[in-house]
Amino acid sequence: MNDRIRVFAAVGVTVLLFLGVQLGALALTEPFYESGHQAVENPEDPTNSVVYVAIILVATALMLAAFKYDLQGLIRALIIGVSVMIAWFVFAELVPPVVTVGDAGVNVLAVLAAFGVGAALLFHPEWYVIDTAGVLMGAGAAALFGISFGLLPALLLLAVLAIYDAISVYGTEHMLDLAEGVMDLKIPVVLVIPLTLSYSYLSSPDESGQPATSNDSADSVDAVESSESAATEVTENTDPTDEPTPEPQRDALFIGLGDAVIPTILVVSAAYFLDAGTLDVPGLALNLPALGAIVGTIVGLVVLMAMVVRGRAHAGLPLLNGGAIGGYLLGALASGLSIATALGL
């Protein structure tokens, strides 16, 4: 019973982390656009989605090659560098420019805060550091992509990535190989939710350097998370010298940061590009279709977690993106919009 309570609590925390990414992205939508962070000239161009998917495929291949040739340090440095850059964008909007440098007015406090995030990730990547940086990075990335993808490109992106995630997890399984490699790097490509008060992400790997998972029980999950994949893991702390038990103690739940970011792109796109009125929520660019996408994502997340805790990894983007798209369309219809308008046609 205590184990079930811990799992339910961890699922609740996971929902809160997802909401942190989604609401944070909505709060950053207008400031990012006004600061000129829109990444493309024409956000309505569907080929933007093709380009982004191609970048993901190339990045996946390069990361797999890096792990094969023992270049993990390069990957870790790259991800921490990207975290610092996105944190800088976020803090530049949140931190008052008390001290500035140069004609461009560089916000010194924002720069220092961003480098503080990088230093924490570099020197003490405990689970709470990873989660804090992950929510910050996820909200910033989702806002950047959300204002850069119009409705049709965003919908295409979510649909294609859901299919790709299912193939890479259940078919080729290369995403699981990638996930296994990134877990030891202690970088914010996963959200880490402990199930025990004594859990430490820093000491979770075993002596071989692999994630501390057990394959001796039907309840164990032997897959881990990556930034794009949605396979989710529950780790278990078992001693091979102990007598086997029916229910090993679960230590933590992992879910990829990309699982929170990708559906949130549609949330931001709906809030920014769709003329469907505005809900009265202070500080947030929110309308009914965007709210529907949020609710749909959370429903998909709860279903995913219910499947995962039964004992195996699953591709999450089919559920998460499917929930986001379904909730978005229902919200658009409830706003009085036609399906054609909701699809960006």
Kindly write down the DSSP assignment for every residue of 145-192, as one continuous string.
HHTTS-HHHHHHHHHHHHHHHHIIIIIS-HHHHHHHHHHTT--TTEEE
List all residues 6 or more positions away from 284 whose beta carbon is below 8 Å from its beta carbon.
23, 26, 27, 271
Evaluate whether residue 149 is within a structural domain: yes
Domain membership flag for residue 105: no
Which pLDDT score, from 0 to 100, does residue 219 have? 30
Q: What is the pLDDT of residue 276?
A: 77
- The pair phi, psi for residue 235, each rounded to 5°, is -90, 155
Q: Has residue 254 been placed in a domain?
A: yes
Whole-angstrom distance, CA of residue 289 vs CA of residue 264: 12
**For residue 57, what pLDDT is reported?**
86
295 within domain boundaries: yes
- Residues 6 or more apart whose CB falls under 8 angstroms from that of 318 comprise 162, 163, 165, 166, 230
CA angle in degrees (0–180, nearest 5) for 329-190-179: 105
Structure tokens belonging to residue 303: 């279903």
- State both tokens at 77: 């440095």
Domain span including residue 338: 3-68+140-226+250-343
Read off φ and ψ for residue 335, nearest 5 degrees: -85, -5
307 domain residue, yes or no? yes
**For the segment 204-255, what is each residue's pLDDT rounded down to a tens digit?**
654 333 333 322 322 323 333 333 443 455 444 444 444 443 344 558 888 8
Establish if 167 belongs to a structural domain: yes
Residues in the chain where the model's pLDDT stays below 50: 1, 206-231, 234-248
Phi and psi at 227, nearest 5°, equal -70, -30
Question: Does 208 reside within a domain?
Answer: yes
Residue 75 within any structural domain of the chain: no
| pLDDT attached to residue 208 | 33
Looking at residue 119, its pLDDT comes to 95
What's residue 292's pLDDT?
A: 95
Which pLDDT score is estimated for 168?
83
Total tally of structural domains belonging to the chain: 1
The confidence score (pLDDT) of residue 100 equals 66
Residue-level pLDDT at 39:
81
